[in-house]
Amino acid sequence: MKFTALLGGLFAAAMLVSGAARAELVTNGSFEVNKTSGSWQQFSAINGWTSSSNVFEIQKGAKQGGVAGFNPYAANGRQYLELNSTGLSSVWQMIDTSAAGLYSVSFAFSGRPDTAGGANSAMNVYWGDTKLNDSLLMGGTNGQWSFFSITDLVATSALTQLRFESVGPTSAPTYGSYLDAVSVEVTPVPEPETYALFLLGLAVVGFTTRRNKQA
C-alpha cells in the first residue's frame, strides 16, 4: 500500500506538471470590459487593444439589446467588435510570449447582415510578422459566426503582436468584419525535472509489477 501511494503520488505529480493548465493570454478578448451605453458605441480606447483608426465600435447582438441589422448574438458574451467602424482598419494586442511552449490562437469572425449588396467581410490575421491564413478569411452576412483556431505556434520574443486586419468589403468599408472570442493560450514545455519525475514513476511501476508477479 505504501508503494501504491508513493507511485500514485509520483505519477500524479508528473502528470500535473507536464499537463500544466493552458494559460489565457489575451486581455478583453470578447470585448465585454468596456460596456456600451446603448445598442452600440464608439470608443477611442478599450482595454487591451490598439486600433489603426483609433476607433473601436462595440456592438451588442440584435437579440441582446442591439439593432436589427446586427448579428443576432455575440459569439461569446453580449458584445463584439466591428472592425469596419469608420473604414477598413486593424486592431492588435501585444501578447506576453515569454513562456516556453506552443501557442494557440482562436477567434470568431463574421460579416454584418445588413451590408449593402450582401458583400462579405474579409480579414487577415498575423502572429508577429507571420500571416496565419493562406487565403482571406471570409465573413458571411447570414448572422452566423465562423470559428477559427490556429495551433502549434512558436514565439521568438517576449512579446508578440496579434493583429487582425480587415480588408473587406471594399464596396461597403464601414460595414462588417465582426470580431469576437479572441483567445491565445500557451501549453508550456515541461521542465527536465518533470520528465525525470515521470520516468521515476514508470520505473516504480515496473518494479511493482515484477514484484507482484514474483509474489
Helix (H, G, I), strand (E, B) or coil at 86: coil
Chain centroid to CA 91: 14
Residues 65 and 10 in one domain: no
Residues 35 and 6 in one domain: no
Concatenated DSSP letters for 105-174?
A: EEEEEE--TT-GGGPPEEEEEEETTEE--SS-EEE-SSS--EEEEEEEE--SSSEEEEEEEEEE-TTSTT
| Cα separations in angstroms, 48 against 52, 84, 148, 155 | 14, 19, 21, 20
Q: What is the pLDDT of residues 144-188, one digit of tens each?
A: 999 999 999 999 999 999 999 999 999 999 999 999 999 999 998
Total tally of structural domains belonging to the chain: 2
pLDDT at residue number 72: 98
Which residue range(s) make up the domain with 169? Answer: 21-189
Q: What is the pLDDT of residues 2-18, one digit of tens each?
A: 222 333 333 333 334 44
Answer for the pair 82, 112: CB distance below 8 angstroms, yes or no.
yes
Amino acid at 20: A
- CATH number, domain containing residue 50: 2.60.120.260
**Grid cell digits, residue 14:** 508528473
pLDDT at residue number 190: 74
Residues 68 and 95 in one domain: yes
127 closest CA partner among 101, 103, 110, 111:
103
Answer for the pair 92, 182: CB distance below 8 angstroms, yes or no.
no
Residues 6 and 94 in one domain: no
Residues 163 and 200 in one domain: no
Q: What is the pLDDT of residues 29-86, one digit of tens each?
A: 999 999 999 999 999 999 999 999 999 999 999 999 999 999 999 999 999 999 999 9
Residues 109 and 3 in one domain: no
